[in-house]
Amino acid sequence: MAPSWWGKDARANGGGGTPVVVKMDNPNWSISEVSASEVAPGSPAGGGGGKAGRGKNARQITWVLLLKAHRAAGRLTGAASAALAVAVAARRRVAAGRTDSDAAPGENTALRTGFYGCIRVFLVLSLLLLAVEVAAYLQGWHLDVGEGLLAVDGLFAAAYAGWMRTRLDYLAPPLQFLTSACVVLFLIQSVDRLVLCLGCFWIKLKGIKPVPLAAGKEDFEAGVEDFPMVLVQMPMCNEREVYQQSIGAVCSLDWPRSNFLVQVLDDSDDATTSALIKEEVEKWQREGVRIIYRHRVIRDGYKAGNLKSAMNCSYVKDYEFVVIFDADFQPQADFLKHTVPHFKGKDDVGLVQARWSFVNKDENLLTRLQSINLCFHFEVEQQVNGAFLNFFGFNGTAGVWRIKALEDSGGWMERTTVEDMDIAVRAHLKGWKFVYLNDVECQCELPESYEAYRKQQHRWHSGPMQLFRLCFVDIIKSKIGFWKKFNLIFLFFLLRKLILPFYSFTLFCVILPMTMFVPEAELPAWVVCYIPATMSILNILPAPKSFPFIVPYLLFENTMSVTKFGAMISGLFQLGSAYEWVVTKKSGRSSEGDLVALVEKHSKQQRVGSAPNLDALTKEESNPKKDAKKKHNRIYRKELALSFLLLTAAARSLLSAQGIHFYFLLFQGVSFLVVGLDLIGEQVE
């Protein structure tokens, strides 16, 4: 603790000094006032001449100012260090030269290359127009639109006058029409989002939740015969980081072992990974668990083909329900006891879906922003649709299906990359009802790198458009009611899967920059700022601890609209990239973290035969391997080009003195720059 300086109380002598204590404990310090009653009369602070008191007060102020300057300098140093680290990382990306043009094996880059070419053309035009506008601004021509400009001699003045007439007569009307159309779509989508939030509020207010006819756990106390036969499927592909703990969690489900069977459906093309998974299965078999290992050499149909192949086994007819867990999902032991009872006495219920929870949501900024989106999806969208419509999109995992509903709906199909949504829509058309349990959670991982997240989002947004093309006629011909057809076509597909990515990209990444160069077409400030901010607040309500990230969330959602828009176009028009299936990369942090925690909590593990060597894993945690898999950050050209386009438009907005538009374009441009340089998410040296 550093020394303290006590101020003199000069009020007794007619002075105006304030007793102050400055406590400095590097790097923090504090200032507190001391009243006259707390100071002894005979102490140096309690009595003394006026000049001495004023002198000491002056020294106090000097120390306070110096300490404030020290603290400010520390903050500036921290900011400078962070900026330097970002600059070094950006320089390393540019020097490495790795871009998203480096295609993975079998990946189609035609759409991506064409999309990037269009953005690059717009960027070049925006730079030329900015140069022209700056030159005109310096001449003062931007203030003279009429005959005054025509009277100015010179080729450049005539060209600029022609540009302004072209802008006014030919460019502004269609641009204003497109702007108005996108604003209408934006408002419709905002109303939909508001209605969903009101529905969620009503559910919370009234305490609405699915209640099984069975009494839950107590209903299963009579004997094994009261437990229905359950088939558990675990599809996986080259997911070496997470298979061990997930298999262990599934095999530990609290259900009679004679009444459930685990299928480990391995599509791995890596021989080492397949051998490890098979060895883990054999360990649990020795423990008495009914578990089967299945491996496909030819990975036709990806996940849908894997599940379809498993359902064709002869012993499936002995089971009533099937549960699906992806490779990174770790259910709680009582998962089946919380979900299966909802089928009892409800023969029309085909699916019971549980909520996801995320073990690595605080890993980095990217995972935090993802968790905001998914919290809203589960807390609001799934819960409201399940409570009021008995229909929602199956999330592909952590759900229990009635096998009869799967068979009645045609089983798994490989025609799209969203086999989960496909089977859900077909089951809904057959009249099956869905139940969503918001209070039953299943742990999983979020993608920690932007590359993995981008590929996941591409699949999630191209698949629904493929499915919409394929099932539109079936929806029209189905026997469900008119309002269910309306919900399925307009709300489920068009509004939330097509219109949302379309207007997000078109309005904020195309129209807004264009209105800066064609100011005759106006985009109101409430569209740019107030409505998006309100919608972001609604989106973040289910995750209140994430409120400090509301601005990054808003900017990142607009940034991701580029990927979502491209995916939507590829799915709608059946372009090559629509059929790409890339398994989302897992880090295995949840598995390793849980295992290490078990080491610290328990000195001995009960399941010795099935658990890995936890002590060895702990040592491995402290001494990471040098020969880890090589991963690289890369530059994303579309995002980088759009960042320069938006920053150019921000510079142009300064000439028109459009404050809100300037700040939005500036921050959005910086957001695109950060993503374009892959500075968000996992950073690899």
Q: Which residues are catalytic?
A: 267, 420
The C-alpha atoms of residue 587 and residue 591 are separated, in whole angstroms, by 9
The C-alpha atoms of residue 229 and residue 470 are separated, in whole angstroms, by 34
Residue 342: count of CB within 10 angstroms of its CB: 22
The C-alpha atoms of residue 250 and residue 233 are separated, in whole angstroms, by 10
> In 610-626, which positions are buried (b, 16+ CB within 10 angstroms) versus exposed (e)?
bbeebeebbeeeeeeee
The C-alpha atoms of residue 111 and residue 115 are separated, in whole angstroms, by 6
DSSP state of 683: -
Q: Which residue's entry shows tokens 């999902």?
A: 329
Residues 6+ apart with CB under 8 A from 64: 20, 22, 31
Contact 235, 267 (CB under 8 A): yes
DSSP 467-494: HHHHHHHHHHHSSS-HHHHHIIIIIIII
Single-letter amino acid code for the residue at 338: H
Rounded to 5 degrees, what angle do the CA atoms 415, 396, 468 make?
40
Q: Treating both helix axes as pointing N-terminal to C-terminal, what angle do 365-376 and 550-572 enclose, rounded to 10 degrees?
A: 70
Find residue 354's DSSP bridge partners.
437
DSSP β-ladder status, 399-402 and 330-331: unpaired
The C-alpha atoms of residue 538 and residue 532 are separated, in whole angstroms, by 10
DSSP β-ladder status, 349-358 and 433-444: parallel
Distance of CA 375 to the CA centre of its chain: 9
The C-alpha atoms of residue 420 and residue 561 are separated, in whole angstroms, by 23
